[in-house]
């Protein structure tokens, strides 16, 4: 039994049409029908039921298809891997990430990568965190949480510091908290990722991570909107340091507690499998990891 025969069977089972399978394989329909009949004779099993208008898999055919599909996919991946070693990386890479991270990488990294690998085309889909979790049609995903899908592999790309900020006008009016526990007495502008409790603001004291349960008059899925309202003096925001650096330099926001108690938030890049990773994905991932390790000002705007 040849791998080509298994691939032909999988194509017919996918299409449930000898005509469509023949067109996709660029073969005469009579050849496809003959090869399926030869395969059934060899297995001594009927794989398809035929009617005048359609075909469908038998119970034996469904069981055989489940095994053949994985065999054919593994063989094709192995072929791709061998081809990778014999040629420069090329093709399409599909990335799924939040908008802010696309902006971060567009500053410099994408340009460097495209000059280094001109035959690789990058496609980016920018989504909210909850949409990223539900999306599967990408090569690499960028996310702040470990994957819930056990079939995904996660690599920590970097960490960023989440801190507490308020405008001078707010602190003049309401006072400056001396410890994160005192935030329960303040108007906290909450960012809702739909992944974790937006009212639980994490802080580190000693070697322990603590949560202060906050409340306030504003909650949004846009973290920048919480920052903008904080600048206007409406409350305290809890945001990554890199997003507020410019506002702090300009005196629009003050970092509370002098940066003490900040929580180091990991950021992950995820992919479906570490086995048979195409060369185009491997070189992108390796270059991005090295870039993130070397660029301490990665998030400076």
Q: Where are the domains of the chain?
A: 3-86, 88-301
Give percent of the chain with pLDDT exceeding 90: 40
Give the CATH number of domain 88-301.
Answer: 3.40.190.290
What distance in Å separates the CA atoms of residue 117 and residue 137, rounded to the nearest whole number? 23
Q: Contact 156/267 with Cβ under 8 angstroms?
A: yes
Among 152, 159, 143, 162, residue whose Cα is nearest residue 241: 162
Fold type of domain 3-86: Arc Repressor Mutant, subunit A (1.10.10)
CA 91 to chain centre: 19
Q: What is the pTM of this model?
A: 0.58
Q: Of 23-37, 118-132, 161-175, 264-278, where does the model show the most confidence? A: 161-175
Confidence tier at 184 by pLDDT (50, 70, 90): very high
What is the predicted pLDDT for the residue at 301? Answer: 47
Confidence tier at 147 by pLDDT (50, 70, 90): low
What phi and psi values does residue 30 have, to the nearest 5 degrees?
-65, -35
What is the predicted pLDDT for the residue at 204? Answer: 93
Q: Do domains 3-86 and 88-301 have the same CATH topology?
A: no
What distance in Å separates the CA atoms of residue 58 and residue 62, rounded to the nearest whole number? 6
């Amino acid at each position: 039994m040849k791998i080509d025969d298994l691939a032909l069977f999988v194509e017919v089972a996918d299409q449930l049409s000898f005509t469509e399978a023949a067109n996709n394989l660029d073969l005469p329909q009579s050849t496809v029908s003959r090869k399926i009949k030869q395969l059934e004779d060899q297995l001594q099993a009927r794989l398809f039921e035929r009617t005048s208008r359609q075909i469908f898999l038998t119970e034996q055919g469904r069981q055989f298809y489940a095994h053949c599909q994985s065999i054919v996919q593994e063989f094709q991946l192995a072929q791709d891997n061998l081809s990778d070693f014999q040629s420069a990386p090329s093709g399409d890479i599909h990335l799924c990430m939040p908008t802010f991270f696309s902006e971060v990488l567009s500053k410099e990294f994408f340009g460097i990568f495209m000059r280094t690998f001109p035959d690789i085309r990058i496609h980016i889909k920018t989504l909210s965190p909850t949409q990223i979790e539900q999306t599967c049609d990408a090569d690499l995903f960028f996310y702040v949480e470990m994957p819930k899908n056990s079939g995904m592999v996660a690599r920590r790309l970097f960490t960023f510091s989440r801190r507490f900020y308020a405008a001078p006008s707010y602190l003049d009016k309401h006072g400056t908290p001396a410890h994160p526990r005192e935030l329960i007495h303040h108007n906290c502008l909450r960012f809702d990722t739909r992944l974790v409790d937006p009212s639980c603001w994490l802080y580190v004291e000693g070697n322990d991570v603590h949560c202060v349960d906050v409340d306030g008059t504003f909650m949004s899925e846009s973290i920048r909107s919480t920052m903008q309202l904080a600048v206007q003096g409406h409350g305290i925001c809890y945001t990554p340091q890199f997003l507020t650096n410019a506002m702090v330099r300009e005196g629009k926001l003050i970092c509370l507690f002098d940066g003490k108690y900040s929580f180091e938030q990991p950021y992950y890049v995820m992919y479906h499998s570490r086995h048979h990773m195409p060369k185009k994905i491997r070189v992108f991932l390796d270059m991005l990891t090295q870039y993130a390790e070397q660029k301490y000002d990665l998030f400076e705007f």
